[in-house]
């Protein structure tokens, strides 16, 4: 008999979690202004808000913490991290930052000016925020397939080369660089193929532009290349990573995802001029160049995390769990962005709460219902998160309206996945009784989803 799949680790430490009653949750979500970011974590049973900084470190990472060098300048932990990053990516220059958005802030301060256009594949909200706050434009060139959630294509995160070429041909002088997000979070944690990365490189070379990878989930992207793209089955994840990064000029990294740490980020590049330009902003915003925004011990844990997460078994364990959750949703007929991506399920709220108009935010409504049902916290990646158009100030209703339920790395078991799926099924089964959505009572001018205050409509 073939042996079944099992995790590539065993558990050394546990953290108790607590269930609550529906009455408690109804009160708590009301006090949170119907915004799950405003809940206390203790009011949550299973937390799928994000896979960012929520993973469990290994015993080796915890051991590395003890070896961290906290020297202000020239820390050994910095050099160890730099060597690891150079080995995995080929990039020689490193600037550590306190998280991914800080890497964006430092690098974009040097590269993005008013009137610039930055084409890419579904820029993440902080990336878009850092571009738009500089009065520049984040131009989405994702393949159209990404919008059709029921279409099964292997690399739905890809850049559409035609859209990119059009942007380059029309605005070459305004484009400081091209950004490719691997995996494409906003489109559903969808991977980008090596072939597509090659096409982007060729276009960049044709127009003499550089390519930046937003690399938060680069290892998961490499896993999908290995398991889905022809010619990569026999390559190791580390070999695939080297090949991916050889097609880029630089990376910004949120180490809170594929770095397997709870906080941290960095910029890495092969170009001395970008490094020199970014350096000027690292010191005032983040800190001295050999720690940026990180402790020595955090750099030490990150170096180990990057190595662990570029091993197949670790990635396979993780993606297998996400795919298991997806298989349960398939059983219950719940529509989500297909095929499931690397870090989360993106439930297609527009196909669940069909009677709720866009103006009443279906995905946010479904997020609230799921929390009330079982204390499960997902988050809206939809019309609230899309913010308003910076010029017209109209709500942006052009994209998908998802409820994202993230799977933290090495944290929950498959039994927790069963609970998430059953809770979703219960809400799904009574979807026709949910006829009204929510309205905004207060919102911030940028990145409103974190602090928005909502009211249920009756």
Active-site choice (5, 30, 63, 72) = 72
**Among 35, 43, 52, 109, contact with ligand F0G (rule: CB under 6 A):** 52
Whether 260 contacts 222, CB under 8 Å? no
**Among 265, 296, 362, 437, contact with ligand F0G (rule: CB under 6 A):** 265
At residue 18, φ and ψ (nearest 5 deg) are -125, 140
For the question of residue 214 being annotated catalytic, the response is yes
Least spacing, CB of residue 294 vs ligand F0G, in Å: 12
**Among 105, 121, 185, 290, contact with ligand F0G (rule: CB under 6 A):** 185
CA distance 448 to 216: 22
At residue 353, φ and ψ (nearest 5 deg) are -95, 70
If phi > 0 it is left, if psi is from -120 to 50 it is alpha, else beta; for residue 188 that is: left
For the question of residue 10 being annotated catalytic, the response is no
Residue 181 as a binder of ligand F0G (CB under 6 A): the answer is yes
For the question of residue 216 being annotated catalytic, the response is yes
Least spacing, CB of residue 124 vs ligand F0G, in Å: 4
**Among 124, 155, 218, 275, contact with ligand F0G (rule: CB under 6 A):** 124
Residue 449 as a binder of ligand F0G (CB under 6 A): the answer is no
Only one of the segments 120-128, 271-279, 392-400, 438-446 lies at the binding site for ligand F0G (rule: CB under 6 A); that segment is 120-128
Only one of the segments 29-37, 78-86, 124-132, 242-250 lies at the binding site for ligand F0G (rule: CB under 6 A); that segment is 124-132
- For 41-66, give the DSSP string: GGG-SEE-S-SSS-SPPPHHHHHHHH
Strands (E), 284-401: 344-348, 376-377, 379-381
For the question of residue 449 being annotated catalytic, the response is yes
CA distance 219 to 216: 8
Active-site choice (47, 51, 69, 125) = 125
Q: DSSP secondary-structure letter at 70? A: -
Whether 215 contacts 201, CB under 8 Å? no
At residue 263, φ and ψ (nearest 5 deg) are -155, 145
For the question of residue 209 being annotated catalytic, the response is no
Active-site choice (51, 69, 160, 214) = 214
218-228 helix and 312-332 helix, angle to the nearest 10 degrees: 80
Active-site choice (257, 371, 383, 428) = 257
Task: Give the other-Cβ count within 10 Å of 446's Cβ.
Answer: 13
Computed from CA positions of residues 70, 76, 80, 82, in that sequence, does the dihedral angle turn out positive or negative? positive
Residue 214 as a binder of ligand F0G (CB under 6 A): the answer is yes
> Which residues in 215-254 contact ligand F0G (CB under 6 A)?
216, 254
> Given the complex with ligand F0G, which of 159 and 356 has the nearer CB atom?
159
Residue 297 as a binder of ligand F0G (CB under 6 A): the answer is no
> Given the complex with ligand F0G, which of 99 and 109 has the nearer CB atom?
99
CA distance 152 to 144: 13
> Given the complex with ligand F0G, which of 117 and 216 has the nearer CB atom?
216
Residue 367 as a binder of ligand F0G (CB under 6 A): the answer is no
Only one of the segments 119-127, 275-283, 316-324, 407-415 lies at the binding site for ligand F0G (rule: CB under 6 A); that segment is 119-127
Q: DSSP secondary-structure letter at 339? A: S
Whether 217 contacts 186, CB under 8 Å? no
Active-site choice (216, 248, 250, 300) = 216
β-strand pairing of 438-442 with 453-456:
antiparallel
For the question of residue 207 being annotated catalytic, the response is no
Only one of the segments 105-113, 123-131, 321-329, 410-418 lies at the binding site for ligand F0G (rule: CB under 6 A); that segment is 123-131
237-245 helix and 76-89 helix, angle to the nearest 10 degrees: 90
Whether 337 contacts 28, CB under 8 Å? no
For the question of residue 124 being annotated catalytic, the response is yes
> Which residues in 68-107 contact ligand F0G (CB under 6 A)?
99-101
DSSP element (H, E) containing 405 = strand 402-406
Least spacing, CB of residue 12 vs ligand F0G, in Å: 26
The footprint of ligand F0G (CB under 6 A) covers: 50, 52, 99-101, 124, 126-127, 181, 185, 214, 216, 254, 256, 265
Q: Report, as residue numbers or ranges, the catalytic residues.
A: 72, 124-125, 214, 216, 257, 449
């Amino acid at each position: 008999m073939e042996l079944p799949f099992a995790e590539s680790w065993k558990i050394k430490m546990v953290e108790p979690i607590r269930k609550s009653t529906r009455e408690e949750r109804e009160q708590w979500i009301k006090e949170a202004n119907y915004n799950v970011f405003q809940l206390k974590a203790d009011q949550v049973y299973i937390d799928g808000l994000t896979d960012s900084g929520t993973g469990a470190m290994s015993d080796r990472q915890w051991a590395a913490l003890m070896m961290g060098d906290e020297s202000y300048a020239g820390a050994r932990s910095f050099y160890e991290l730099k060597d690891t990053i150079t080995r995995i990516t080929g990039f020689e220059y490193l600037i550590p930052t306190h998280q991914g958005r800080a890497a964006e802030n430092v690098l974009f301060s040097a590269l993005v000016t008013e009137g610039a256009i930055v084409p890419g594949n579904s820029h993440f909200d902080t990336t878009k925020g850092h571009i738009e706050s500089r009065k520049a434009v984040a131009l989405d060139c994702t393949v159209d397939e990404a919008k059709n959630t029921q279409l099964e294509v292997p690399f739905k995160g890809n850049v559409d080369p035609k859209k990119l070429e059009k942007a380059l041909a029309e605005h070459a002088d305004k484009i400081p660089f091209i950004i490719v997000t691997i995996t494409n979070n906003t489109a559903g944690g969808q991977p980008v193929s090596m072939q597509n990365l090659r096409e982007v490189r060729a276009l960049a070379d044709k127009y003499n532009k550089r390519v930046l990878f937003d690399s938060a989930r680069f290892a998961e992207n490499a896993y999908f290349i290995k398991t889905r793209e022809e010619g990569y089955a026999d390559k190791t994840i580390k070999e695939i990573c080297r090949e991916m990064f050889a097609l880029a000029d630089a990376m910004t990294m949120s180490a809170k995802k594929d770095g397997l740490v709870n906080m941290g980020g960095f910029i890495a590049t092969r170009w001395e001029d970008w490094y020199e330009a970014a350096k000027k902003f690292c010191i005032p915003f983040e800190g001295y160049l050999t720690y940026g925004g990180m402790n020595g011990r955090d750099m030490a844990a990150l170096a180990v995390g990057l190595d662990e997460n570029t091993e197949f078994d670790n990635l396979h364990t993780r993606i297998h769990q996400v795919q298991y959750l997806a298989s349960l949703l398939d059983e219950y007929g719940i529509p989500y962005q297909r095929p499931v991506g690397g870090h989360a399920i993106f439930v297609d709220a527009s196909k669940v709460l069909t009677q709720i108009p866009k103006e009443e935010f279906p995905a946010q409504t479904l997020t609230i219902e799921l929390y009330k049902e079982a204390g499960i916290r997902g988050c809206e990646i939809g019309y609230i998160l899309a913010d308003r158009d910076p010029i017209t100030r109209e709500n942006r209703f052009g994209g998908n309206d998802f409820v994202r339920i993230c799977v933290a790395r090495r944290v929950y078991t498959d039994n927790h996945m069963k609970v998430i799926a059953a809770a979703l099924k219960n809400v799904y089964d009574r979807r026709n009784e949910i006829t009204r959505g929510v309205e905004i009572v207060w919102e911030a001018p940028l990145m409103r989803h974190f602090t928005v205050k909502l009211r249920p409509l009756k």
